[in-house]
Structure 1
Amino acid sequence: MLKFFPLALLFAAPSMALAQSPSSAGDLLAEEADDRWNLGLALSVSDSAYAGEDLRPRPFPLVSYEGERFFWRGLSGGVHAIRSGGFTLDVIVSARFDGFDIDDLGRRELAANGLDADRLDDRDDAFDAGLAASWKGRAGEFKLRALADASGTHDGYELSADYAYPVHLGRSTLVPSLGARWLSKDLANYYYGTLDSEVARGVKLYRPGSALVPQVGLGWLRPLGEKWRLFGSVEYKFLPNEIKRSPLIDPDVDGEANLKFGFSRSF
């Protein structure tokens, strides 16, 4: 699971455009960009913890907008409800790409965990909405978020806390970050447990319940001339025992790595 980390210094990036949920590192890099519109292309590659899936690449176009009240950063956006000094309260929406197709998992690996792939259902991606409060100063940025399912997919919620600090190295900006995600039992049970419909077909019951997922990350932004930028990020999530014991997960997995990189042009 650590095989992406030798690439971190080459491809580390702003979550502003690529993350599945908003982040302090992404917000700080968005402010470094300091442009109203950014368009580009990006690639996200995850070292999936699901049994037999291995790498999960996701290419996608990139659109970000920074206005006085409205903003959009790749896969998330919202409205600045309150902005006072270093404090900001946002109403946000965000895509959640935690879903998977059973056909993308390994039948042999699932069988070794006691699961019959023919009796399992796909897990859908979701669309979340909620609030984000951030405090920014010379010591960096601290952000709290509360997101709930707005798509009727998992019917759960996520609470998170993140801290990020920008480091300027010449024209480049590095943003190390650390944080934690609290997954409600409905959210964790949907993506890491077995569903009622599956249990009715004879699949063994597993419910991880709520779970705390710590994570660390590193973002990078490098201007190329006046309008072009390279960016990247690397992130590692430490999976708790409740998730690692899931029969949907490879038994030797301790976490999930995610690498994102791309380029954009400002307007």
Structure 2
Amino acid sequence: MTLKAAASLFCLFPSIALAQSPSSTSDLLAKQEDDRWTIGVGASVKDDGYAGEGTRIRPFPLIGYEGERVFWRGLTGGVHVIKGESFTLDAVLAGRFDGFDIDDLGRKELAANGLNADLLEDRDDGLDAGLSASWRGTAGELKLSALADVTDSSGGYEFAADYGYALHWGRTTLVPSVGVRWMSSDLVEYYYGTLDEEVARGVVRYQPGSAVVPQVGVGFSRPLGEHWKVTGSVNYKFLPSEITDSPLMDPDVSGALGARVGIGWSF
């Protein structure tokens, strides 16, 4: 099986996780339950700010597994290389859903930015692999991760830092979080720049280089009876000028909003 095919299979199982890369929010929510399996359904809402695309709504199956060494949290799966009371080192795979079809963007909006949609290429989703280290204590959890694209969709990589703190009201758990991501130039230019083959057709060259993306969010979990629970997250990314100045983006965009909610049966 090729890496592209493996990524396609992996991407059949989107997640309730706050972010595509491993996050402290998904970790802390997973640790609230003793159940090994979660199976259910959910929906995601996403507005990345691409020109004329608008809000994307996507239903998905919700599948999770928490083992002693192996875990699967929808978008993110992996193996606990080191698992202690306060420190964990994981080898991870994480789906990257930043891709889009040019037909889903607005031709009129792209033209207003100086782009001819007929000369543009689609951007593929990808699959990242890397390491994630987390430190957990009474003050919450800090997670550092390093991921690289193994499908060569973008050929890029990112480093991320996330902090989350679990709050409890009865059986409801809320996890506010803050984070920051450094995205390599290959990663940013693939999803927000113009490609060499597009420039060769006459498209304006836009190669913004690397970018730093801060974000805030909150995740939640609430049991419904003995085995059912509802889980979700909302996050907002503060997009830097390297991204917002892209001719692929709406001219007035300043951030990207995403939300997910699902209901699952745990056992």
Q: TM-score, normalised by structure 1?
A: 0.93
Unaligned runs of 5+ in 1: 1-14
The equivalent residue for 1:231 is 231
Alpha-carbon displacement from aligned partner over 1:161-213 (angstroms, at most 9, x marks no partner): 00000000111000000000110000000000000010000000001100000
1:210 corresponds to 2:227 = no
The equivalent residue for 1:24 is 24
Tell me how far 1:16 sits from its aligned partner. Answer: 5.3
User: Is the Cα contact below 8 Å between 1:16 and 1:30 reproduced in 2?
Assistant: no
Tell me how far 1:111 sits from its aligned partner. Answer: 0.4
The equivalent residue for 2:138 is 138
The equivalent residue for 1:3 is none
Alpha-carbon displacement from aligned partner over 1:110-167 (angstroms, at most 9, x marks no partner): 0000000000000000000000000000000000000000111100001000000000
1:55 corresponds to 2:55 = yes
SS in 2 for 1:32: coil
Distance 1:119 1:55 in 2: 24
Distance 2:42 2:141 in 1: 25
The equivalent residue for 2:251 is 251
User: Is the Cα contact below 8 Å between 2:224 and 2:230 reproduced in 1?
Assistant: yes
The equivalent residue for 1:74 is 74
The equivalent residue for 2:98 is 98
Tell me how far 1:18 sits from its aligned partner. Answer: 6.3
The equivalent residue for 2:12 is none
User: Is the Cα contact below 8 Å between 2:16 and 2:232 reproduced in 1?
Assistant: no
Alpha-carbon displacement from aligned partner over 1:229-248 (angstroms, at most 9, x marks no partner): 01111100000011110000
Tell me how far 1:42 sits from its aligned partner. Answer: 1.4
SS in 2 for 1:264: strand
Distance 1:20 1:135 in 2: 20
Distance 1:244 1:17 in 2: 25
User: Is the Cα contact below 8 Å between 2:216 and 2:235 reproduced in 1?
Assistant: yes
Alpha-carbon displacement from aligned partner over 1:9-32 (angstroms, at most 9, x marks no partner): xxxxxx754642221011100111
Alpha-carbon displacement from aligned partner over 1:79-118 (angstroms, at most 9, x marks no partner): 0001122000000001000000000000000000000000
User: Is the Cα contact below 8 Å between 1:16 and 1:23 reproduced in 2?
Assistant: no
AA at the equivalent of 2:62: L
User: Is the Cα contact below 8 Å between 1:17 and 1:62 reproduced in 2?
Assistant: no
The equivalent residue for 1:123 is 123
Distance 2:145 2:120 in 1: 32
Distance 2:157 2:120 in 1: 23
The equivalent residue for 1:193 is 193
User: Is the Cα contact below 8 Å between 2:16 and 2:231 reproduced in 1?
Assistant: no
**Range moving further from structure 2, 26-35 or 186-195:** 26-35
Tell me how far 1:48 sits from its aligned partner. Answer: 2.5
Distance 1:258 1:223 in 2: 23
Tell me how far 1:72 sits from its aligned partner. Answer: 0.3
Distance 2:56 2:260 in 1: 12
User: Is the Cα contact below 8 Å between 1:161 and 1:181 reproduced in 2?
Assistant: yes
Distance 1:216 1:170 in 2: 24
User: Is the Cα contact below 8 Å between 2:16 and 2:261 reproduced in 1?
Assistant: no
User: Is the Cα contact below 8 Å between 1:17 and 1:64 reproduced in 2?
Assistant: no
Matched-pair identity in %: 65
Alpha-carbon displacement from aligned partner over 1:42-74 (angstroms, at most 9, x marks no partner): 111112210000101121101111011000001
SS in 1 for 2:27: helix
User: Is the Cα contact below 8 Å between 1:39 and 1:63 reproduced in 2?
Assistant: yes
Q: TM-score, normalised by structure 2?
A: 0.93
* Cα RMSD, aligned residues only: 1.0
User: Is the Cα contact below 8 Å between 2:110 and 2:116 reproduced in 1?
Assistant: yes
